[in-house]
Chains A and B, each alone.
Chain A
């Protein structure tokens, strides 16, 4: 219990520091948001009024205090562009990113752990060599380039190579503007973005699982299990995978930022209206409240994913219980 409280208060403190950092970072930047919002013909009194309406005329400490109070009330401010509350703008985008990232993360771990386990169990065979080349190459590829390669393959390539019509996959947006907007249409639009995110993620997880499994297979207790006549399957599941589980859990939490960061590019390339694309478009529109709101949301996710991993480790690894 004390462990949980200590971890929780640590996470909350960290979250507060991150919030403050983003607040001061945005205020420290050159350029005045008022100059973006005021029309060129605005008089000095108009500019002063806009400044006051944005609460930018108070001393920095006062601004910080008011902003902190609002954040505690769950108010992240109003978007400069759409004049809607930032929380509302984020609430529209989060489900899209969550669905895209969640499905991809799940597939990432299923395929990554499966491929890595096979490689680790058959280390230094030809199969392992081929898979190592593939995973290392995919791991090195930026997600936006991989996304464009897949688009090229399923549009340019599909017509050049004469793929059947079912394989000419939509490369942009989340639904067909002309056709029906049913679930199947959404699923077809999701194939390429999910595939991109899964490829990038699974390659990293497979690389890690391979070395973890290979190392565990060399342990003395694995040799003991084999010597006492345990089946190959029992050794791999009970002795190797269950020992790899705690580190895989940490990795799950640590790979969350990667998936989120990857989704910035994937959402931008494929035109999915998620948080990643919102972030990029807000940056170009100088919509600072939304940029700060999205950053805060990303940070919250990372911190609480790490916290969840820290709290879950004692559950899956009896050696860590105190």
Chain B
């Protein structure tokens, strides 16, 4: 991590710092805030204050307040806890599942390989958002449901990448020499093949955090993801939709945090890809 920081460019460092700041903000701001971001106080005096406003009590509101007089900055940071957690968990778990499936399929080949790839093809044939919508419609909404669906619909891209790498690495001389020295198949896969096959998967997972955050916010925006009163960036934007003509900052402010997160993940993923030299086309495929 530190070595990566030292050798990378300013843009990537800015992305890493942004993610760190957002994560720290999400953890600390709601805990240290003066008011409870879920409670409704003196709504008549506090509601619909624009960004940078000072309310009648003399308190400063960085991003303004919503229709109930709740501070949008504190709410956006509280929402960030759930949005970031769901995004990271969704992408990392999906990546883990993809690595497992891809490694086994690529190592064993044969029927297992064909079954796994066919299952992946079927899932890739429906736009991910549409599967998410159908599942969200059929099962009760919530954070666990969103993560589960993200994993079920997100493993295919990584599995394809890892499968391709494993098949390539399996034929390399150092694997053969490990075999000659009497390594078991499991050891060859775990110690020799897998560590040399993970580079494109890591890139895809980093980029996947961004798209998982986007998908979660999309579901919550439509009312099928995280449910109010628990704020997430998506349902905060949905809350502001009604008032977009009067108080556009209610919908736009949480979106800024969202864009910053996704942008940072994209930049970080790009930097990792340049470093690990993956194939642009394959990662594009893995994202969609």
The answer to whether A254 touches B244 (Cβ under 8 A) is: no
- State the CA gap A306–B122 with chains docked (Å): 13
Q: Which of A15, A149, A280, A291 contacts B222 (CB 8 A)?
A: A280
Once the chains bind, are B248 and A152 in contact (CB under 8 Å)? Answer: yes
Instruction: Look across to chain B and name the residue whose beta carbon is closest to the beta carbon of A17.
Output: B122
B256's nearest neighbour on chain A, judged by CB, is: A145
Chain A residue numbers with a CB within 8 Å of B223 are: 284
For B241, give its contact among A156, A264, A269 (CB under 8 Å): A269
Q: Once bound together, how far apart are the Cα atoms of A265 and B128, in whole Å?
A: 14
- Distance in angstroms from B72 CB to nearest chain A CB is 15
Q: Which of B121, B131, B222, B258 contacts A145 (CB 8 A)?
A: B258
Please indicate the chain B residues that have their CB under 8 angstroms from the CB of A140 in the complex: 210, 259, 262-263, 266
User: Which of A90-98, A112-120, A295-303 touches B?
Assistant: A295-303
Contacting residues of chain A (24-55) with chain B, CB-CB under 8 angstroms: 25-26, 29-31
Check B127 against A149 for contact (C-beta < 8 Å): no
Q: How does the 8 Å CB contact mask read for B124-149 relative to A, with 1 for contact and 0 for none?
A: 01111111011111111000000000
Task: Provide the residues of chain B in CB contact with A26, threshold 8 Å.
Answer: 134, 138
Tell me whether A18 is interfacial, beta carbon within 8 Å.
Answer: yes
Number of A-B residue pairs at CB separation under 8 A: 141
Contact (Cβ within 8 A) B135 A139: no
Judge whether A151 is part of the interface by a CB distance below 8 angstroms: yes
Residues 239-266 of A at the B interface (beta carbon under 8 Å) = 247, 250-251, 254-255, 257-258, 260-261, 264-265
Bound CA span A157–B262, Å: 26
- Residues of A contacting B281 in the complex (Cβ-Cβ under 8 angstroms): 247, 250
> Are B280 and A142 in contact, CB atoms less than 8 angstroms apart?
no
Residues of A within 8 A of B129 (CB): 261, 264
Residue B69 at the chain A interface, CB threshold 8 Å: no
Least CB distance, A271 to chain B, in whole angstroms: 11
In the complex, given contacts A29-B139, A211-B280, what are 12 additional A-B residue pairs having Cβ atoms less than 8 angstroms apart?
A25-B138, A26-B134, A30-B139, A142-B221, A145-B259, A148-B248, A152-B251, A255-B288, A257-B127, A279-B133, A298-B130, A303-B125
Interface residues, chain B, CB within 8 Å of chain A? 118, 121-122, 125-131, 133-140, 210, 214, 217-218, 221-224, 237, 240-241, 244-246, 248, 251-252, 255, 258-259, 262-263, 266-267, 280-281, 284-285, 288
9 A-B residue pairings within 8 Å (CB atoms): A14-B121, A21-B122, A142-B217, A145-B237, A149-B255, A157-B248, A257-B288, A265-B221, A303-B125
Interface residues of A (CB under 8 A from B): 14-15, 17-18, 21-22, 25-26, 29-31, 136-137, 139-142, 144-145, 148-149, 151-152, 155-157, 208, 211-212, 247, 250-251, 254-255, 257-258, 260-261, 264-265, 268-269, 279-280, 283-284, 286, 291, 294-295, 298-299, 302-303, 306
